[in-house]
Amino acid sequence: MRLIHTLMPASKWKLVVSGIGVMALLVFAGTVVYEAAKAEVAITENGRQQTVSTHKDTVEEVLKEIGIEVGVHDEISPQLDASIKNGMEIDYITAKSVYLDVDGEVKEYFTTANTVEEFLKENELEFSRWDEVSHHGEEQIQDGLNINVKQAYPVTLNDGGKEKTVWTTGGSVEELLNENEIRVHDLDRVEPSFEENVMEGTSVSIVRVKQETDEVKEPLSIQTKTEYDDSLEKGKEKVISEGKKGEVLKKYEVTYENGEEVSRELVDKEVKVESIDRVVAVGTKEPQPKRKTSPNLVTLAANQKESPKEQSSSYAETEPLNNKSSNNASKQKASGKSYQMTASAYTAACDGCSGYTATGINLKENPDRRVVAVDPNVIPLGTKVWVEGYGEAIASDTGGHIVGNRIDIHVPSKSEAYAWGKRTVEVKVVN
């Protein structure tokens, strides 16, 4: 400066200095004007706000100016091609990636949502209340978040006969019942078992089992007691005492399945009132023959050329013996014995049949009378017997073909006689 000052006159030096000042002033003024022409823009990036001054014309240019590259899935407001205005506010949110796994199928999403719930709504994704979602709706979205979903499927549940549909995402039968707050008692049966896994299409059945004690009063049957009466004509019966039914208290263990009785087991019984036997007297007295000559005896007498006296004698010899001691001895000998006999059947309901037994019982008047024809040498007349397939009866008749271990049972009709046919049966002497 000193050199310039030395070589240049003072007047010219003043002029130079003055020019430099004007130029500086112009530059300064231009700078001021340029800076004053910048637009003030407020930019909020992912919640963080900053203010910038810019001469850029569009939103996209401003963001690039500050190093923000807007991605396809990012959110920007206003749009990138919007013109910059002083005082403008720009909101920018960077999209985050979310991986959604639904029953093993994975899909990537990009979102600017803040929470899981907002993300699901944004993508129109709906899951039922039975589906299993790994994240709650209010959880914040983080970049790279993995959301796992197990979708529920229907299972048919029959609970005690009442069928309904429940939803599950899998697991065991026990877990399914617990999820639906279904209680199973000790006696109940569950199919499939608790340990079995529930699959789509599985049907679960609960059989509700209940046991109760049931007390029942039942009558006791009357037993018939037979007493032999030698003052009563053979074949006749007389009721001495009708008897009286007793009472027994029975306790049953009753099992119900789904409300229906399936079994009843007698566990205890107690006789409250004893029965009184019915007593029936059975006559053993042999009937006395009428003192007149029968046509047969007359014929017999004529053939033998007997005198009337001899006829009378022959008739007497043919009278049945009424020897009480001999008859009783024979019965005592037969009592308790058991025989295998050939049994046929006969009926009094036939043309020409008198209907009377050898002991004088009128079977036409008493068609339901239990009577058998026997060989008196094997089973004495008047004996009470039990015949297999027929029941208890009185030996009150004889027959020409009933010899030895043969027996003929009386039935009310021909059809029943044919139905019986001929068979081998067990015969027991009751008294």
- Per residue in 6-34, pLDDT tens? 445 655 545 554 556 556 554 454 444 45
| CATH code assigned at 167 | 3.10.20
Which is higher by pLDDT, 4 or 417? Answer: 417
Residues 166 and 129 in one domain: no
Domain boundary among the residues 130, 150, 170 is at 150
Residue with tokens 């569009």: 58
Judge whether 338 lies within some domain.
Answer: yes
Predicted local distance difference test score (pLDDT) of residue 289:
52
Predicted local distance difference test score (pLDDT) of residue 410:
95
Bridge-based pairing of strands 96-102 and 105-111 is antiparallel
Residues 272 and 224 in one domain: yes
Predicted local distance difference test score (pLDDT) of residue 227:
86
Residue 49, CB-side half-sphere exposure with 13 Å CA sphere: 6
| CATH code assigned at 69 | 3.10.20.90
Residues 56 and 136 in one domain: no
Residues 341 and 421 in one domain: yes
Statement: residue 167 has pLDDT above 60: yes
The span from the CA of 129 to the CA of 212, in Å, is: 41
Residues 83 and 137 in one domain: no
pLDDT tens-digit series, residues 109-136? 999 999 999 999 999 999 988 999 999 9
Counted domains in the chain:
6
Judge whether 101 lies within some domain.
Answer: yes
Which tokens belong to 215?
């007390």
Predicted local distance difference test score (pLDDT) of residue 361:
92
Cβ neighbourhood burial of 268 (10 Å; 0-12, 13-18, 19+): exposed
The span from the CA of 69 to the CA of 88, in Å, is: 19
Judge whether 167 lies within some domain.
Answer: yes
Q: Are 275 and 220 in contact (CB under 8 A)?
A: yes
Statement: residue 166 has pLDDT above 70: yes
Strand partners, 102: 105, 149
Judge whether 378 lies within some domain.
Answer: yes
Judge whether 120 lies within some domain.
Answer: yes
| CATH code assigned at 345 | 2.40.40.10
Judge whether 27 lies within some domain.
Answer: yes
Residues 113 and 73 in one domain: no
pLDDT band at 401 (very low <50, low <70, confident <90, very high): confident
Among the ranges given (162-171, 239-248, 330-339, 419-428), the one the predictor scored with the smallest mean pLDDT: 330-339
pLDDT tens-digit series, residues 27-54? 454 444 455 668 999 999 988 999 999 9
Judge whether 367 lies within some domain.
Answer: yes
The set of residues, in sequence order, having a beta carbon less than 8 Å from that of 392 and lying 6+ positions away, is 370, 384, 385, 386, 430
Predicted local distance difference test score (pLDDT) of residue 409:
95
Which tokens belong to 319?
């009278």
Statement: residue 310 has pLDDT above 70: no
Residues 338 and 425 in one domain: yes
Domain boundary among the residues 93, 123, 139 is at 93
Residues 108 and 78 in one domain: no
Q: Are 133 and 146 in contact (CB under 8 A)?
A: no
Predicted local distance difference test score (pLDDT) of residue 389:
94
Q: Are 64 and 17 in contact (CB under 8 A)?
A: no
Judge whether 293 lies within some domain.
Answer: no
**Type of residue found at 163:** E
Which tokens belong to 361?
């019982």
Long-range contacts of 137-146 (CB under 8 A, 24+ apart): 139/115, 140/114, 140/115, 141/96, 141/98, 141/111, 141/113, 141/114, 141/115, 141/116, 142/96, 143/96, 143/97, 144/96, 144/97, 144/98, 144/99, 145/96, 145/97, 145/98, 145/99, 146/98, 146/99, 146/101
Q: What is the mean pLDDT of the chain?
A: 82
pLDDT tens-digit series, residues 315-359? 222 233 333 333 443 344 445 789 999 999 999 887 667 788 999
Residues 75 and 112 in one domain: no
Statement: residue 420 has pLDDT above 90: yes
Residues 104 and 81 in one domain: no
Whether pTM exceeds 0.95? no
Q: Are 174 and 194 in contact (CB under 8 A)?
A: yes
Domain boundary among the residues 191, 207, 223 is at 207
Statement: residue 312 has pLDDT above 80: no
Residues 380 and 423 in one domain: yes
Among the ranges given (47-51, 238-242, 302-306, 340-344), the one the predictor scored with the smallest mean pLDDT: 302-306
DSSP 329: H
- Residue 75 structural domain: 39-93
Residues 160 and 199 in one domain: yes
